[in-house]
């Protein structure tokens, strides 16, 4: 239940001289819900794109479920789902057609596929509009279809990049509950966001990055204790918005190391 599911060592990405992700290492156990936090431009999307095989790292290794992503990309992709921040969807398709297409790409049987499509569309309240084109959907509705598409093949690991963008309050609650249930079933969740509220309530662990580097890694409780701040928001501000950020981050990283966790 608690073996390593994601192992990242010295992950680095440079875009023509811009160092977006700088020597990041972490291990995530099966069943963890990890919030990957940082302000805009910190390197969150770049990390997730490398973890899902969309972008090739400049340096470093990524092992998912015991498989090296760079050596075995197809097998790794069978095990992961990805909810992008903005989806490249075929908007002339209906939600039903789009999910059918995605399910077929994963070689799901018609029977399983139909059952899962029905389940997700019901869960997200999209049954009545499932035969309407995605181009007529609101951003939140499209987001629900993207989340359904990422879960159709029942992946072991789910990566989400700002998944609440455009979701209404009810759907956001639903997604949070869904993530908790998925983790309870043993799925591993990697949740990228600059919105702290959800992470604080949903994630079992938080990794904070700033300028491409990890500045904190621990449970919300540990982080609160260390910084003596009331909410994750305060911790986050302290770590990422302050003018003496480098100093603070180093002090924080030192105290995390000292407490061994």
Give residues in contact with ligand ADP (CB under 6 A): 15, 18, 20, 38, 40-46
Q: Which is nearer to ligand ADP, 54 or 173 (CB)?
A: 54
Phi and psi, residue 72, nearest 5° = -135, 55
The token duo for 38 is 């940082």
Q: Which is nearer to ligand ADP, 42 or 151 (CB)?
A: 42
Give min distance, CB of 161 to ligand ADP, in A: 7
Contact 236, 34 (CB under 8 A): no
CA-to-CA distance for 137 and 22, rounded, in angstroms? Answer: 38
Give min distance, CB of 59 to ligand ADP, in A: 15
Give min distance, CB of 216 to ligand ADP, in A: 15
Q: Which is nearer to ligand ADP, 133 or 213 (CB)?
A: 213
Work out whether strand 205-210 and strand 33-37 pair parallel, antiparallel, or are unpaired: parallel
Contact 208, 220 (CB under 8 A): no
CA-to-CA distance for 56 and 41, rounded, in angstroms? Answer: 18
Give min distance, CB of 149 to ligand ADP, in A: 21
CA-to-CA distance for 59 and 45, rounded, in angstroms? Answer: 17
Closest CA to 6 of 45, 60, 43, 56: 60
Give min distance, CB of 193 to ligand ADP, in A: 10
Q: Which is nearer to ligand ADP, 20 or 121 (CB)?
A: 20
Q: Which is nearer to ligand ADP, 31 or 43 (CB)?
A: 43
Q: Which is nearer to ligand ADP, 4 or 166 (CB)?
A: 166
Closest CA to 209 of 10, 47, 90, 5: 47
Closest CA to 248 of 237, 260, 259, 233: 237
Give min distance, CB of 47 to ligand ADP, in A: 7
């Amino acid at each position: 239940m608690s073996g390593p599911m994601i192992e990242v060592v010295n992950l680095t990405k440079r875009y023509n001289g811009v160092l977006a992700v700088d020597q990041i290492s972490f291990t995530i156990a099966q069943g963890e819900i990890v919030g990957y936090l940082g302000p805009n431009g910190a390197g969150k999307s770049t990390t997730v794109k490398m973890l899902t095989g969309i972008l090739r790292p400049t340096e470093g290794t990524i092992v998912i479920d015991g498989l090296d992503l760079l050596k075995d990309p197809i097998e790794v992709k069978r095990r992961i789902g990805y909810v992008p921040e903005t989806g490249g969807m075929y908007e002339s398709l209906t939600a039903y057609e789009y999910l059918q297409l995605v399910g077929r790409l994963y070689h799901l049987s018609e029977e399983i596929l139909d059952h899962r499509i029905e389940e997700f569309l019901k869960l997200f309240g999209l049954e009545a509009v499932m035969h309407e084109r995605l181009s007529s959907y609101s951003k939140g509705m499209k987001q629900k279809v993207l989340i359904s598409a990422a879960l159709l093949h029942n992946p072991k690991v789910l990566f989400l990049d700002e998944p609440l963008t455009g979701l209404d309050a009810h759907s956001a609650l639903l997604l949070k509950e869904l993530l908790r249930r998925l983790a309870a079933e043993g799925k591993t969740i990697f949740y990228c966001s600059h919105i702290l509220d959800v992470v604080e309530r949903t994630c079992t662990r938080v990794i904070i990055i700033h300028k491409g580097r990890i500045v904190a890694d621990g449970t919300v409780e540990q982080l609160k204790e260390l910084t003596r701040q009331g909410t994750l928001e305060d911790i986050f501000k302290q770590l990422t918005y302050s003018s003496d950020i480098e100093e603070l981050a180093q002090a924080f990283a030192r105290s995390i190391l000292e407490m061994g966790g």
